[in-house]
Amino acid sequence: MDLERDVTTHTAKIEARNVQVYYGDNHALKDVDVDILDKTVTAFIGPSGCGKSTFLRCLNRMNDTIPSARVEGSIRLDGEDIYDPRVDPVQLRAKVGMVFQKPNPFPKSIYDNVAYGPKIHGLARNRAELDEVVETCLKKAALWGEVKDRLQSPGTGLSGGQQQRLCIARAIATSPEVLLMDEPCSALDPIATAQVEELIDELREQFSVVIVTHSMQQAARVSQRTAFFHLGHLVEYGETAQIFTNPKDPRTESYITGRIG
């Protein structure tokens, strides 16, 4: 086995136990147990409506914004239950950043997009520090070279791939520990997708990355561990290489080989 891909030694960053999610009367997610490892890319795959995005949104409590959503079970980030009543979801989301399906930069300048998070969380004491944070994050997002001469031009004027990398820069600007990505490349062309995937692979050195994707090839390319969701169940979770060459569960097999399952 490729040493770089061997992540079995990494510790668990997020431990989810017996997680149930309901939307009103609809039991959307059933008995999910997952350990998300630190400094690892974990991919969630599965057919539409299988609950993978729902579970992703549980990890930073984005489901709180949906009034009918109800989450049971325990999700622990570094051993702390994120659904504890004492936890402020706003604080949690600074620790668990999120990148969305459609690139959604704020209709502000490139600089302001990245600076927004540090500003509201008070992560920079003065303008110089803020400049530095912006530069670092844009460099980490592999966007600095392309935008350094036009930081004040609107972020919405960038190409789709650049916008998505800007969103990643914005997400990592709050120094999160976990980065959630909800189908980050579904609106991008293959070249932009490759750039974002390369970026994800680099981010693995500092963050625990969880990515929901419809593209099995993408899951195979970027992740070290893969979880397959089906009809609200976590069917199989394991090493990506194993899931894609020799899945244990026949439902996983049917799904990844493109059979009716």
Partner 1 sequence: MSNNQHILRAFDRDLESVQALIMKMGGLVETALSDAARALETQDDDLAERVRLGDAAIDAIEEEVNTECARLIALRAPMGSDLRTVLSVMKIASNLERCGDYAKNLAKRSKVLATMTPIPGAAGSLRRMAKQVELLLKDALDAFIARDAALAEDVRQRDLEVDQMYNALFREFLTHMLEDARNITACMHLHFIAKNIERVGDHATSIAEQVIYLSTGAMPGEARPKAEVVTKGEAEE
Partner 2 sequence: MSGSLLTQDKRTRARNAAEARFRSYGIVAIILALLALVWLLISILGNGLPAFRQTMLTFPVTLDAAVLDKADTRDPQALAKVTTITYGKLLSRALSAELAARGIDAGTLTDKDIGSLISEESAAQLRDKVLGDPGLIGSTITFQALATGRIDGYYKGRVTMETAAKDKNTSPEKLALADKMKDAGILAMRFNPGFILLPDASDKRPEAAGLGVAILGSAYMMIVVLLLSLPIGVAASLYLEEFAPRNRFTDLIEVNIANLAAVPSIVYGILGLSFFINFAGLPRSAPVVGGLVLVLMTLPRIIIPTRAALNAVPPSIRDAALGVGASRLQTVFHHVLPLAMPGILTGTIIGLAQALGETAPLLLIGMVAFVKDFPSAPPEGLFDPASALPVQIYNWTTRGDPGFVERASGAIIVLLVFLIIMNAAAIALRRRFERRW
| Gap between the Cα atoms of 74 and 61, Å rounded | 12
Nearer to partner 2, 99 or 227 (CB): 99
Residue 2 identity (one-letter amino acid): D
- DSSP state, 28? E
Of 173-232, binders to partner 2 (CB under 8 A) are 173-174
- Residue (of 134, 133, 186) closest to 161 by Cα position: 186
Alpha carbon of 195 to those of 109, 144, 192, 226: distances in Å? Answer: 22, 13, 5, 21
| 13-72 binders of partner 2 (CB under 8 A) | 60, 62, 65, 67
Residue type, 162: Q
User: Which of partner 2, partner 1, none does residue 244 bind (CB under 5 to 8 Å by kind)?
Assistant: partner 1
Helix axes 160-172, 190-203, angle to 10 degrees: 20
Q: Does 133 bind partner 2 (CB under 8 A)?
A: no
Q: Is 171 in the site for partner 2 (CB under 8 A)?
A: yes
249 binds partner 1 (CB under 8 A): no
3-state secondary structure (DSSP) of residue 179:
strand
The answer to whether residue 258 forms part of the interface with partner 1 (CB under 8 A) is yes
Instruction: Provide, rounded to whole angstroms, the least separation between the CB of residue 93 and partner 2.
Output: 4
Strands 178-182 and 208-212: parallel
Whole-angstrom Cα distance, residue 113 to residue 103? Answer: 12
Interacting residue with partner 2 among 105, 161, 184, 247 (CB under 8 A):
105
**Sites for partner 1 among residues 89-118 (CB under 8 A):** none
Query: How many residues in the shown chain lie near partner 2 by CB under 8 A?
Result: 30
- What does the DSSP 8-state code read for residue 69? E
- 142 vs 231, which CB is nearer to partner 1? 231
Q: Which two three-digit tokens encode residue 158? A: 């960038």
Sequential DSSP letters for 207-229: SEEEEE-S-HHHHHHH-SEEEEE
The interface partner of residue 159, options being partner 2, partner 1, none and the CB cut-off 5 to 8 Å by kind, is: none
Q: Does 256 bind partner 1 (CB under 8 A)?
A: yes
Q: Which stretch binds partner 1 (CB under 8 A): 12-20, 85-93, 98-106, 212-220?
A: 212-220
Contact residues toward partner 1 (CB under 8 A) are 216-217, 220, 244-247, 250, 252-254, 256-261
Binding residues for partner 2, per CB under 8 A? 60, 62, 65, 67, 90-94, 97-100, 102, 104-108, 116-117, 120-121, 154, 156, 167, 170-171, 173-174
